[in-house]
């Protein structure tokens, strides 16, 4: 049903899991709690909707095929009620049409079963930060000596400019917005290239390598892109 291996957790959030399969619900809840999250579980769509409207959550993990009220209807009701809590569908419905339908209903992300908990955890972490980041009005973001100007589309480490191609800039921007957190290859494909499938190329690895080399050329004050085995990448200012 699920494939294991946790990835490091870097923040505390309150998560609602709406899942009628008791084994999957217990597995997800246990994994999230081990990462430090507070977790509420609902086995019915109507119960999930009630909890989401009654309490404040950072992220909702939602199965599409739940009794009482299906996942799509729950999300539509939440959005119609002005609830903007980020939602990730965790479901066995993995067709392109299913994904499109889920995202258009108001979901923020979509993960198909069977799944790796490390990827689910990374996506939950990313979604939990998404709303605050959307509200962040500053044009300049910084991580240690690295500075990114999002209006001028320029970057520098200290006084040294970084010559970045457009996709390299987008990738570095995404890593900076998720600094000190694991970002998976799938997340980069979706958020930087807008690929909702695996193109079976080394496009991510190639761009990471180029950015890493450019940062290293700026000396020890530059942040480091770490490869987290079996999980993805992490940018930090060590």
Percent of the chain with pLDDT over 90: 51
β-pair partners for 69: none
In the predicted structure, residue 89 carries a pLDDT above the cut 90: yes
Q: Which domains does the chain have, with CATH numbers?
A: 2-134 (3.40.50.2300), 137-236 (1.10.10.10)
pLDDT in tens, 183-197: 898 888 888 887 877
In the predicted structure, residue 103 carries a pLDDT above the cut 50: yes
Specify the pLDDT at position 137. 43
Report, as an integer, the average pLDDT of 110-126. 91
At 58, give phi and psi (nearest 5°): -85, -35
pTM of the model: 0.54
Query: Band of the pLDDT at 35, cuts 50, 70, 90?
Result: confident
In the predicted structure, residue 38 carries a pLDDT above the cut 50: yes
Q: 68-77, 114-123, 175-184: which range is least confident on average?
A: 175-184
Report, as an integer, the average pLDDT of 5-21. 70
Query: 148 and 141 in contact (C-beta within 8 Å)?
Result: yes
* DSSP H stretches of helix in the chain: 22-34, 45-54, 71-80, 96-104, 117-135, 166-177, 185-192, 203-216
């Amino acid at each position: 049903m699920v494939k294991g291996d946790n990835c490091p957790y870097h923040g505390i959030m309150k998560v609602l899991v709406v899942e009628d399969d008791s084994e999957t619900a217990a597995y997800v809840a246990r994994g999230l709690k081990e990462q430090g999250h507070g977790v509420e579980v609902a086995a019915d769509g109507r119960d999930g909707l009630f909890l989401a409207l009654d309490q404040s959550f950072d992220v909702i993990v939602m199965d599409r095929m739940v009794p009482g009220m299906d996942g799509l209807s729950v999300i539509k009701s939440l959005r119609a009620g002005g609830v903007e809590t980020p939602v990730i569908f965790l479901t066995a419905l993995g067709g392109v049409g299913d994904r499109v339908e889920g995202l258009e209903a108001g979901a923020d992300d979509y993960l198909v079963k069977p799944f790796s908990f490390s990827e689910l955890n990374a996506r939950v972490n990313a979604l939990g930060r998404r709303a605050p980041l959307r509200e962040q009005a500053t044009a300049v973001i910084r991580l240690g000596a690295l500075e990114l100007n999002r209006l001028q589309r320029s970057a520098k480490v200290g006084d040294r400019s970084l010559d970045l191609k457009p996709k390299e800039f987008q990738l570095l921007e995404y890593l900076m917005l998720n600094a000190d957190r694991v970002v998976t290859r799938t997340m980069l494909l979706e958020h930087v290239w807008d690929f909702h499938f695996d193109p079976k190329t080394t496009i991510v690895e190639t761009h990471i390598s180029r950015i890493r080399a450019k940062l290293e050329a700026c000396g020890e004050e530059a942040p480091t892109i770490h490869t987290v085995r079996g999980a993805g990448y992490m940018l930090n200012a060590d």
